[in-house]
Amino acid sequence: MDYYNLLTTCAFIHLLVSIPYAYSNYVENKAGQFFSSGHTNNWAVLVCTSRFWFNYRHVANTLSVYRSVKRLGIPDSHIVLMLADDMACNYRNPKPATVFSHKNMELNVYGDDVEVDYRGYEVTVENFLRVLTGRLPPSTPRSKRLLSDDRSNILIYLTGHGGNGFLKFQDSEEISNMELADAFEQMWQKRRYNELLFIIDTCQGASMYERFYSPNLMALASSQVGEDSLSHQPDLAIGVHLMDKYTFYLLEFLEEVHPASQANMNDLFKVCPQSQCVSTPGHRTDLFQRNPGSVLITDFFGSVRKVEITKDTINLTSSLKPLIQRSGSGDMQIESLTYVDQLPVAEIIHQKPKQKDWHPPDGFILGLWTLILLVFFQTYGIKHLKHIF
Amino acid sequence: FRLSSLIGHISTCPSLIGQCCQRHPGSVDEFQEELVIRPLHSGDIYASFQFRTLWDTDFLQEGQKVSHYRLFPKSLGQVLSKFSVRELHISFTQGFWRTMQWGQPFIPSPPGAELWVWFHDTVSDVDGNWKELTNVLSGIFCASLNFIDLTNTVQPSASFKPLGLGNATDHRFLRYATLPREIVCTENLTPWKKLLPCGSKAGLAVLLKSEKLFHSSFHSQAVHIRPVCQDEQCTSKAWELRQTLNVVFDLYTAGQGKKEWSLFKMFSRTLTEACPLATSSKVYVDITDNPELFELSPATPLLSQAVVLGDRRTYSVYDLSRAETFGQLRSLNLLLRWKGDGEMLRPLLHAERYVAGFGLQTGEIHTVIYNNHPYRAFPVLLMDSVPWYLQLYIHTLTVTSKSRDNKPSYIHYQPAKDRHRPHLLEMLIQLPPHSMTEVTVQFERALLKWTEYTPDPNHGFYVGSSVVSALVPSMVAMNTNFTQDQPLFSSFVPVKEESSYFVRVYTEPLLVNLPTPDFSMPYNVICLTCTVVAVGYGSFYNLLTRTFQVDEPSLPLAKRLANLIRRIRGVPLLT
């Protein structure tokens, strides 16, 4: 009996001990599942490369991806938005401060809370590559930098006019597919990304991802080599085409996605089949290590933050330092301060001319004087030097 | 013993309580907001928002690092302390202020972006600080201010004196730059609104909706930071941050032609509450020309008079901190219905600028300044900053008033250096009463290097506005006392004497076409040359240098097998 009791009590104690152990195992498994994708933060670089009013649709494309990405959780500080021209406040826009994606002005993708980091003439190939590789001048503000690390998932979206192997920036320069592939390799070598999703919506877009050779890259394009990407619908009030077909259907697909959705990349590859898009969208996954079916859309388009729960208490620092009171009257200036005279006419008229800093003579003057001296000494001989010294 | 110490403790308590009731410990800043609505005689309406944060601190005091920010935005505070800025004025404007139709604005600004900064005397490298400051501000305001560099920065020698406290004005510490091409849109308004203590959630800032604000004739948002007097005695300094937004709504684009305006029509919102962090939140409506001009509802008993821009104006005041302003519906929607047309007072000072001439070689810049005062003459300071690619010929500079030569009493000219600095011309001109003064200077257009052209060079190149600063004689005695109760719109520019007020007028920016090369020329030349070389010379070279051999035709299979056997046998082959 006693032995039996001992056994049952032992079993009971064992059970008691193992239940919390099993529970913590379960929690750890869940935690393991959370971190399976390997990334801890999300970045997005969205670029529109075309200028001029008739390229309204490229700006609308970029803004619709911006809108989806913000809606799914990536904050403005982690988005680098580059728009080569201003469509919203363009004088030709009949409804200022709006950029529409659907005709009859149904959806304003510009919104009321937009932050454009690079705009107008700043959108150049050089700036784009500098943003990607991180080699920016030291005075560049934080909002213009891609501060990603080796656990960042980056989404890169490019749209504009392109051709076989190049993408045109602002009607004056191009970026080639080799340059882009090299830039991604630089990013890989500097460990600036964990995984990268590259989407491009231009004519012959698939040529841009042909040359990639760095690991962990997945690419999507709106058309194959030799095919043109087409625009979707014009709006008769605005007078231009509003969106490109591929991004229009991509936007419709992303509107269905919410931060907790389990949609994966295979669904994204099916966006805009040839019946809708007229061109054949392509994708490339051979450089990507995970199976596309296990990659969630929100791994790139959203910013699902992982939360680590802790039971430790943290002591906050002691209260604020007491406000340093304005020192007593003994310290203050007795005389009162005054405002400056805005247009002191008498003072201006009698202003002494500014002393210019003296600079040594410039190259040309120096050369001229050297020539004159040389000719002088050649003509008159060196013995005349004694007249000078 | 214990009881006495307890009593002593209790007696000190009220004084402590009294102290903390007066001021929240750690907060020495206050916030005021105000909206002024001025109906214009053409039926348009001018709305001017001013948000002022006053902070009693000294960023640059040794050993005291400011780390607790309450109402003053931290991004701007850090900028001020890092770059030793004494005064900062930045404005973003879309549209041009039409002085002849709209009068004088409360806070003038030129089209595009304008930035002028006074640095402290302790700064050793002003240019380096200026460059970094423009980059930081371009990140804060989402604007391309990083295009401000030495080629468009000038150092005015007499204009742009500090608007804040101070005595020493060494112009070596002043930098001024303008970007006339800069676009203003929602992406500039968004960070500007985020600097406000209440954001755009409460108070007057709820009216700032971009779809209505940018659908207007004129939109200007600005940030002005300067040191001001803390109190009447003016013994210590406080930092003042003013965020101003001026907008003129057009009768026909936004008003649909009906001469009737309301807050809802202008902003698509009504006011529901004041900002809880504001010490004062008021709306002023200019009713000086009433009751002939328009009818205002809801009526308010509060009236205020202020002398602003040389004129005494009467305002109806709506105090948003009082609950009865909002009435039964808990929302305030002002309604202005026009009744008749009024006579507009002609502004006393007005300036225009245009380019004359034809062709892409030379041209002439004409600046015309009007003095509309019937009998008083006054001096104006004209500042022109022209980019280096318009090469000015200063020997052709003429200043004429009433068709006679008018010699300026002060001229400061700094010539441009190609690709290094722009031209700077400052002149103090005495304007005779009721006259038109014309300043002309000829220029020649330069040919830029092909990489210096913008992607759309046929649009033209912008030349920034000229600035005309003047002390205009005032019809009404101006108020020289500094009091805290003055409305914000009348206390922006410090008034030193009663008989005149300071005004700054900006002219139009110029758009000049530079001779543009044909950018497709190198491509065309390479294609043509290579084709000619390949076809013409290449074939000739081949004919001369290649040796020709007779080529055996290939044999059928049977003959090839026979040849194989013949080779083994050592017998001559078939052909």
- Over residues A39-52, the pLDDT tens digits come to 889 999 999 999 99
* Residue B11 vs residues A9, A42, B19, B25: alpha-carbon distances, Å: 66, 59, 14, 21
The pLDDT score that the predictor gives to residue B64 is: 61
Least confident of A161-175, B31-45, B225-239: B225-239
pTM (predicted TM-score): 0.84
On whether any CB of chain B is under 8 Å from the CB of A1, the answer is no
CB–CB contact A119 B428 (8 Å): no
Helix (H) or strand (E) holding A164: none
CB–CB contact A337 B410 (8 Å): no
Residue A385 has pLDDT above 70, yes or no: no
Q: How many CB atoms lie within 10 A of CB B238?
A: 18
Between residues A270 and A12, the one the model is more confident about: A270
Q: Which residue has the tokens 């200077």?
A: B441
The whole-angstrom separation of Cα B483 and Cα B233 is: 10
The pLDDT score that the predictor gives to residue A357 is: 66
- Over residues B62-113, the pLDDT tens digits come to 456 677 888 999 999 989 989 999 999 999 999 999 999 899 999 999 999 9
Output the DSSP codes for A248-276. Answer: HHHHHHHHH--TT---BHHHHHTSS-HHH
Helix (H) or strand (E) holding B333: none
CB–CB contact A112 B236 (8 Å): no
Nearest to residue B120, comparing CAs of B75, B70, B62? B62
Nearest to residue A247, comparing CAs of A57, A115, A49? A57
Helix (H) or strand (E) holding A387: none
Between residues B247 and B343, the one the model is more confident about: B247
The whole-angstrom separation of Cα A89 and Cα B219 is: 11
Nearest to residue A201, comparing CAs of A88, A42, A49, A74? A49
For chain A, percent of residues with pLDDT exceeding 90? 54
Closest Cβ–Cβ partner in B26, B183, B235 for A332: B235
Residue A380 banded pLDDT, cuts 50, 70, 90: confident
Residue B14 banded pLDDT, cuts 50, 70, 90: very low
Q: Which residues does chain A have within 8 Å of residue B233's beta carbon, measured at their own beta carbons?
A: 336
Cis peptide before A353 (omega within 30 of 0): no
The pLDDT score that the predictor gives to residue B329 is: 82
Closest Cβ–Cβ partner in A86, A342, A353 for B161: A342
- In chain A, which among 151-210 make CB contacts under 8 A with chain B? 170-172
Minimal CA separation from B497 to chain A, in Å: 10
The pLDDT score that the predictor gives to residue B429 is: 94
The whole-angstrom separation of Cα B52 and Cα B486 is: 13
CB–CB contact A337 B186 (8 Å): no
The pLDDT score that the predictor gives to residue A1 is: 60
Range A182-189 average pLDDT: 96
Q: How many CB atoms lie within 10 A of CB B226?
A: 23
Minimal CA separation from B327 to chain A, in Å: 30
DSSP assignment letter at A183: H
Range A133-137 average pLDDT: 95
Residue B12 has pLDDT above 70, yes or no: no
Residue A389 banded pLDDT, cuts 50, 70, 90: low
CB–CB contact A171 B455 (8 Å): yes
The pLDDT score that the predictor gives to residue A345 is: 84
Active site (annotated) includes residue A161? yes
Residue A351 banded pLDDT, cuts 50, 70, 90: confident
Minimal CA separation from A150 to chain B, in Å: 25
Residue A265 banded pLDDT, cuts 50, 70, 90: very high
Residue A80 banded pLDDT, cuts 50, 70, 90: very high
CA B21 from chain center: how many Å?
41
Q: For residue B269, which amino acid is it?
A: R
Output the DSSP codes for B2-42. Answer: HHHHHHHHHHHHHHHHHHHHHS-TT--EEEEEEEEEEE-TT
CB–CB contact B187 A116 (8 Å): yes
CB–CB contact A339 B94 (8 Å): no
Computed over every residue of chain B, the mean pLDDT equals 87
Range A116-129 average pLDDT: 94
Residue A32 has pLDDT above 70, yes or no: no
Q: Note the helical H segments in B214-298.
A: 263-267
Output the DSSP codes for A123-161. Answer: --HHHHHHHHHT---TT--GGGS----TTEEEEEEEESE
The pLDDT score that the predictor gives to residue B65 is: 67
For chain A, percent of residues with pLDDT exceeding 70? 83
Computed over every residue of chain A, the mean pLDDT equals 85
Q: How many CB atoms lie within 10 A of CB B209?
A: 17
The pLDDT score that the predictor gives to residue B476 is: 84
**A203, A232, A241, A272: the active-site residue:** A203
Q: Which residues does chain A have within 8 Å of residue B25's beta carbon, measured at their own beta carbons?
A: 323
- Over residues B531-568, the pLDDT tens digits come to 999 999 999 999 999 888 888 778 888 888 998 999 99
Nearest to residue A146, comparing CAs of A182, A109, A196, A72? A196
The pLDDT score that the predictor gives to residue B147 is: 93
Q: Note the helical H segments in chain A.
A: 2-34, 56-71, 125-133, 177-189, 245-256, 265-269, 274-277, 345-349, 363-380
- In chain A, which among 349-378 make CB contacts under 8 A with chain B? 349, 351, 353-354
Nearest to residue B511, comparing CAs of B458, B555, B560? B458
Least confident of A86-90, B338-342, B453-457: B338-342
The pLDDT score that the predictor gives to residue A181 is: 96
Range A189-215 average pLDDT: 94
- In what side-by-side order are the strands of the sheet with B500-506? B410-414, B423-431, B378-386, B467-473, B500-506
Are β-strands B467-473 and B45-55 bridged in parallel, bridged antiparallel, or unpaired? unpaired
The pLDDT score that the predictor gives to residue B61 is: 56
At residue A185, the 3 state secondary structure works out as: helix
The whole-angstrom separation of Cα B467 and Cα B424 is: 12
- Over residues B477-515, the pLDDT tens digits come to 887 776 667 888 888 888 888 888 999 999 999 999 999
Between residues B420 and A341, the one the model is more confident about: B420
* Residue A315 vs residues A312, A319, A377, B68, B332: alpha-carbon distances, Å: 10, 12, 85, 20, 47
On whether any CB of chain B is under 8 Å from the CB of A307, the answer is no
Between residues A387 and B543, the one the model is more confident about: B543
The pLDDT score that the predictor gives to residue B305 is: 87
- Over residues B259-311, the pLDDT tens digits come to 888 899 899 989 998 999 999 999 999 988 877 788 888 888 888 888 888 88
Q: Which residues does chain A have within 8 Å of residue B234's beta carbon, measured at their own beta carbons?
A: 336-338
At residue B87, the 3 state secondary structure works out as: strand
Range A265-281 average pLDDT: 90
The pLDDT score that the predictor gives to residue B492 is: 87
Active site (annotated) includes residue A203? yes
The pLDDT score that the predictor gives to residue B22 is: 36
Helix (H) or strand (E) holding A312: none
Q: For residue B3, which amino acid is it?
A: L
- Over residues B437-488, the pLDDT tens digits come to 999 999 999 999 988 999 989 999 999 999 999 999 988 888 777 666 788 8
The pLDDT score that the predictor gives to residue B378 is: 93
